[in-house]
Amino acid sequence: MGERSDSNGGRACEAGTSAARRILSRRRLVMGAAAGATCSVLGGEYVFAAGPDPSDRRPDGRRRLPPGQRVLRQLRPMGGIEGDPSRSAWRFRVHGEVARPFEIDFRELLAMPQDEQALDVHCVTGWSVLTAKWRGVALRRLAERAGLKKGVRHVIFEAAHGYTCNVPVAQALAPSVMVAHRLNDRPLSVTNGAPARGLVPDLYFWKSAKWLTGVRFQRRDAPGYWEVRGYHNHADPWREERYG
């Protein structure tokens, strides 16, 4: 599989080091993953984990692991042009078609009611991480504070360096969608979008914008960085909506 790009301008399939390539060829790596093997690559940067039982189902009846995915133990760093990771400098805007637009800093984010959930995430490049523990503020809480105007149908996640991605409002206001600032009981790392990122677990992971700076509610759709470059506008992993 060639290199593909993922969230915030990053390469989704970063090339391995020459040492790792000498140890494991791509074919052996894929075969190991398909067999549910556990193997460490690039000094433990990512590790294949045994896949879930094929009978595992979500509450909506879909299989927990979407088609074409393999399970990793932890998120792969997917690159991108990093935003400012400083909590003191972070500002987050909620604006667009809302009655009460507002801006908060990181301390205000932490002062809001916090949500903590174990959620699965799925990257368009074919890996999934299951039961990652995320903590943050549910997007629907921010929407309630802002007061959505009639006719809002889309949410545009805004991030560092002008990156955007679009999500239908019905999905963006699901209980699992949040502005996340902790992963597995630790603050987000810079490579994973510190100090805060979007989290939209039921869509491919490029929709979960890193280095988040705001959300904009609007009536009309506005395809984002990867959507206008050939990625699918919706990005449902269970339908394998990778490309438009």
Question: Tens digit of pLDDT for each residue in 102-136?
Answer: 999 999 999 999 999 999 999 999 999 999 999 99
41 and 118 share a domain? no
**Domain range enclosing 27:** 17-48
Question: Which residues pair with residue 94 across a beta bridge?
Answer: 102, 215
Does any domain span residue 69? Answer: no
Does any domain span residue 63? Answer: no
Contact between 195 and 106 under an 8 Å Cβ cutoff? The reply is yes
Q: What share of the chain in percent tops pLDDT 70?
A: 78
102 and 40 share a domain? no
Question: Which residues pair with residue 234 across a beta bridge?
Answer: none
Q: Looking at the predicted structure, is the pLDDT value of residue 9 above 80?
A: no
225 and 124 share a domain? yes
How many domains does the structure of the chain reveal? Answer: 2
Does any domain span residue 235? Answer: yes
Tell me the two tokens of residue 76: 């792969």
221 and 104 share a domain? yes
Phi, psi angles (nearest 5°) of residue 144: -65, -40
Whole-number Å distance between alpha carbons of 132 and 129: 7
Question: Which residues pair with residue 135 across a beta bridge?
Answer: 116, 182
Average pLDDT for residues 67-78, to the nearest whole number?
A: 92
Q: Which amino acid is at 62?
A: R
CA R_g for the chain: 18
Does any domain span residue 55? Answer: no
| pLDDT score for 54 | 58
Tell me the two tokens of residue 178: 């949040």
Residue showing tokens 């940067």: 45
39 and 96 share a domain? no
119 and 202 share a domain? yes
When pLDDT is cut at 50, 70 and 90, the band that residue 244 belongs to is confident
| pLDDT score for 79 | 75
Query: Where residue 225 sits, what CATH number does that domain have?
Result: 3.90.420.10
109 and 182 share a domain? yes
Does any domain span residue 31? Answer: yes
Does any domain span residue 74? Answer: no
144 and 197 share a domain? yes
The full length of the chain comes to 244
Average pLDDT for residues 155-181, to the nearest whole number?
A: 98
When pLDDT is cut at 50, 70 and 90, the band that residue 40 belongs to is very low
Does any domain span residue 192? Answer: yes
When pLDDT is cut at 50, 70 and 90, the band that residue 15 belongs to is very low
Whole-number Å distance between alpha carbons of 126 and 146: 36
Q: Looking at the predicted structure, is the pLDDT value of residue 232 above 90?
A: yes
38 and 125 share a domain? no
Does any domain span residue 66? Answer: no
Buried b (16+ CB within 10 A) or exposed e, 131-168: ebebbbbbbbbbbeebebeeebebbbbbbbeebbbbbe
